[in-house]
A and B are shown apart, each in its own frame.
Chain A
Amino acid sequence: MTLLAVERIKLFTTRSPLWCTIAALGVTIGFAALIAGVDSDNLPTIASTQFGYGFGLVIIMVMATLAITTEYRFGTIRATFQAVPNRTSALLAKTAVVAMFAGIVGLIASFGSVAIAKLIRPSADLSISSGYEWRAVAGVGLVFAVAAVIAVAVGTMVRHSAGAVSLILVWSQLVESLVVLIPNVGDDIQKWLPFYVANKFLTGDPDPTTRAITDGPPPSDAVLSPWGAIAYFVGVAAVLLVIATVTANKRDA
């Protein structure tokens, strides 16, 4: 508990997490507002309100990466390890706090997106009732939290802000979509890449009665079931976190 409080103080006593949060919420909710407002032919659906979650996700992952790389950059990681020589607990506490925060931001972003769509187009049916709808909205919180764990783990391993952020961005925004360009095997590889799989949790198996394909983010055709997909995503994050913790324990701070 003490360590969680320590990491909470650290996270909220610099301003960049606040800016990142505002940016993430603004982009995600703004995108939902844009879609609801511009498309006058169709009423927004739950699926269409969640179009912009990926933009917020990227920003929150940058925030999560910086939460650890700035500690290496400014040497506060040494002060941390001096105060808490058990590096594993120090890093797990940081990961937990950052992931929880990211999850909350994700929830505000997704429910905020639904709310703003309803506000702009009051006639739209935006009730959240089916399993798919719950996953598409509340699930965003979970995906944000797990993605933050991945970001912290990568940040711990790479230690340099620029390097870690580039790696995260290039991987999630370029590598995972461009991998299909590899002849023959590209498609099959993509089906197992973590962010592509996470998208399956949010967009997969839609209830056909409430969702037109064109209304939502392109559905993932990862082979796992939605819950299998999130389990896989959590698994990837856990493996990265274990590797990061082991490296941090081995390396000189």
Chain B
Amino acid sequence: MIEAVGLSKRYGRTVAVDDLSFTVQAGRVTGFLGPNGAGKSTTMRMILGLDAPSAGNVRIDGKRYRELHNPLRTVGALLDAKWVHPNRSARAHLRWLAKSSKLPAKRVDEVLETVGLTDVANRRAGGFSLGMSQRLGIAAALLGDPQVLLFDEPVNGLDPEGILWIRRFMHRLADEGRTVFVSSHLLSEMALTAQELVVIGRGKLIAQCTTEEFVAQATENTVRVRSPQLALLRSALGQEGATVRDEGESLVVSDMDIAKIGDLAAAKGVALHELSTQRGSLEEAFIQLTGDSVEYHAAVDAEVPAQPVDLMPAGK
């Protein structure tokens, strides 16, 4: 279990992490979600004792990182897959890590096998593709067979096969009762990977809940209606208490069930050309929630198209 209390980190006048409190439970994959620059990596570095918090503290199973005995046996982490000397072989990299935690040399071969790098173990890590580097990083994290695992943006830049592999892998680790804490700036990815979410923006906690709750709360369901008698329908819907908004040639109705809208149209004798459920994309929802807390805004706001169904795991 990871427990952060009032965690803060300031660099000069910039506040990277601001009074952040959350807990990460064992046996679940917990997503750590936030836009780029929200303070995810900084928080992870503080968990690992690499950066000293300006205020507050974070404990792993009740202990600060520095108090852990042979920490690699308690906490495994992949913060950056490139943290390997490029001229050192994958095996040599794991060998010194294993030695530092008094782990037997055969453990190195075991984790190489687990991540599927046995064949390239003696090649220099500098020549590895991003996917192979990520696997090596995961091998390093698994070395001490730790109960707590931290991954920072593990799927960044991976191909679909690699993403799927990592996703399944994390579920397996959580199913074994481990604490898995994984950061991402992609809500759609987290929706598939994480059961719990810790959402931050500009270093502040936005939400801590299950992924389902977050998605349900974040995505508002609306119904799109097209009709030649739009004005008639609009007033009818308004009388029934639905919230109606014009969108080009159609109406977008919220707060009313789709069946009821259809019934109402039939009762009023209004012909319908379209009646469809619009599901807000997770991205939209995410932007809605964290919109104020994005560190760097693009000068021109990109139009985010509503992408129905595909990204929505719940309710499928």
Contacts and interface: CB of A to CB of B under 8 A. Distances in A.
Contacts of A169: none
A82 interface: yes
Q: Main secondary structure on chain A at its contact with chain B?
A: helix
Nearest to A71: B85
Going nearest first, the 10 A-B pairs with the smallest beta carbon separation are: A75-B83, A13-B92, A83-B100, A252-B51, A9-B96, A253-B50, A85-B66, A14-B87, A6-B100, A6-B99
Given A82-B48, A252-B52, A2 B99 contact: yes
B102 interface: yes
Contact of A6 (B88, B96, B140): B96
B84 A76 contact: yes
A177 interface: no
A54 B77 CA distance: 44
A16 interface: yes
Contacts of B99: 2, 5-6, 9
Contacts of B100: 2-3, 6, 80, 83-84
B50 A74 contact: no
A73 B49 CA distance: 19
9 contacts: A3-B100, A13-B95, A74-B83, A75-B82, A76-B84, A79-B84, A81-B49, A82-B77, A252-B45
A82 B92 contact: no
Given A5-B99, A9-B99, A79-B97, A74 B72 contact: no
B96 A78 contact: no
A234 to B, nearest CB: 28
Nearest to A81: B50
A85 B63 CA distance: 13
| Interface residue range, chain B | 20 to 34
A6 B92 CA distance: 10
A212 to B, nearest CB: 46
Interface string B14-31: 000000000000000000
Interface of B: 45, 48-52, 65-66, 68, 71-72, 77, 79-80, 82-89, 92-93, 95-97, 99-102, 140
B88 A14 contact: yes
Contacts of B96: 6, 9-10, 13
Contacts of A79: 83-84, 97, 140
Contacts of B97: 79, 83
Interface of A: 2-3, 5-6, 9-10, 13-16, 70-71, 74-76, 78-86, 252-253
Contacts of A2: 99-100, 102
B95 A9 contact: yes
Given A3-B100, A9-B99, A76 B85 contact: yes
B166 to A, nearest CB: 20
B194 to A, nearest CB: 23
A81 to B, nearest CB: 6
Given A6-B99, A14-B87, A82 B82 contact: no
Given A81-B49, A253-B50, 17 more contacts: A6-B99, A6-B100, A9-B92, A9-B95, A13-B89, A13-B93, A15-B87, A16-B87, A70-B85, A74-B84, A76-B83, A78-B45, A78-B83, A82-B48, A83-B72, A85-B66, A86-B66
Contacts of A84: 100
B48 A13 contact: no
B76 to A, nearest CB: 9
A201 B240 CA distance: 99
Contacts of B92: 9, 13
A74 B82 contact: yes
A31 B93 CA distance: 37
